[in-house]
Amino acid sequence: MAVLDKLKLWGLKKSPWVYHVNTGACNNCDIEVLELLTPRFDVERLGVLLVPSPRHADALLVTGICTRQIRPRLQEIYRQTPKPCLVVCLGACALSGGIFHDAWHFAGPVDEVIREVDPDAMIVYIPGCPPKPEAMIAGIAKALAQL
């Protein structure tokens, strides 16, 4: 079914629908994600739509350090997202724990958590605390160009 796979990938690249997951963030990254949808950056013109369910998503925007409580739930959300799926680790906390790396509630950086479920997951890393909206758009554009 190479044609169907190509079609799915074409749909993902042309218009990635995103589902936002906050795994314990301070909300700063979440506010910057919200800014992407405002008229100044307006990612909807690029086809990016914020969807209410992981079942409709092409990409997961994951912010926050992954706490013990959310770890199995993040893995469940990843399993529920139809593949091909992009996991975007947004911000220093999602990448490596940021300043909370040695905290008692830290349960692993997001890419380890996702790779436990799917070793071949496509993961995008966008550093920053919080990342600038321009950085987020650039990161996603680079990732989509490589697909």
Partner 1 sequence: MNTDQVKKEKNNSVYPRLPAIASAAAGPSAARFKAGTTMRTQSALEDVIERLKGLLGDRSAGWKRPLPGRVYFTVRREDAREVGRMIFEDIGARFVTASGSDLGEELEALYHFSLDAVGLVVNMRVRTPKAEATLPSLTPVVPAAEWIEREMRDLVGITFEGHPRPERLILSDDWPEGVYPLRKGAADERG
Q: Please, what is the minimum distance in Å from the beta carbon of residue 25 to partner 1? A: 15
Q: Which stretch binds partner 1 (CB under 8 A): 52-60, 88-96, 101-109, 139-147?
A: 101-109
- Interactions with partner 1, residue window 54-73 (CB under 8 A): 67-69
Is there binding between residue 142 and partner 1 (CB under 8 A)?
A: no
| Residue 42 or 116 with smaller CB distance to partner 1 | 116
Q: Which stretch binds partner 1 (CB under 8 A): 2-10, 47-55, 98-106, 131-139?
A: 98-106
DSSP string for the chain: -HHHHHHHHHHHHHS-EEEEEESS--SHHHHHHHHHTSTTT-GGGGT-EE-SSGGG-SEEEEES--BTTTHHHHHHHHHHSPSS-EEEEEHHHHHH-GGGTT-TTB---HHHHHHHH-TT-EEEEE--SSPPHHHHHHHHHHHHHT-
Site residues (CB under 8 A) for partner 1?
Answer: 67-69, 102, 104-105
